[in-house]
Amino acid sequence: MNCTHIKSSKKFEKCLKKLGRATSALVLEKIIIFRQNPLSPELRLHKLKGNKVGFYSIDIAFDLRALFYIEGNIAIFTELGTHSELYG
């Protein structure tokens, strides 16, 4: 997985703004780690199934996940939320 660029959707940005300052900083920290090494074990990167086929998930914190898909060499982050919010 070689993503040289990272983008985020308006929905992702809106969710990010709703988080507290510390949690938002953690999200950005994890995205930086993703950019440096997408396969870093702390991200627990995995492909999704079901109605989320084509998407990937990384762990941000205990129950906070960030979802994205890859288009060429761009990782596009689209959703941010708890396990139940995302997979409900």
* pLDDT tens sequence across 26-42: 999 999 999 999 999 99
CATH code of the domain covering residue 70: 3.30.2310.20
Residue range(s) defining the domain that contains residue 37: 5-87
Q: How many domains does the chain have?
A: 1
What is each CA distance from 2 to 6, 29, 39, 75, in whole angstroms? 11, 18, 10, 9
Distances from the Cα of 63 to the Cαs of 21, 23, 30, 31, 74, in angstroms? 17, 12, 14, 16, 25
Q: Quickly state the pLDDT bin for 88 (edges 50, 70, 90).
A: confident
pLDDT at 27: 95
| Dist. CA 34–CA 38, nearest whole Å | 4
The pTM of this model reads 0.92
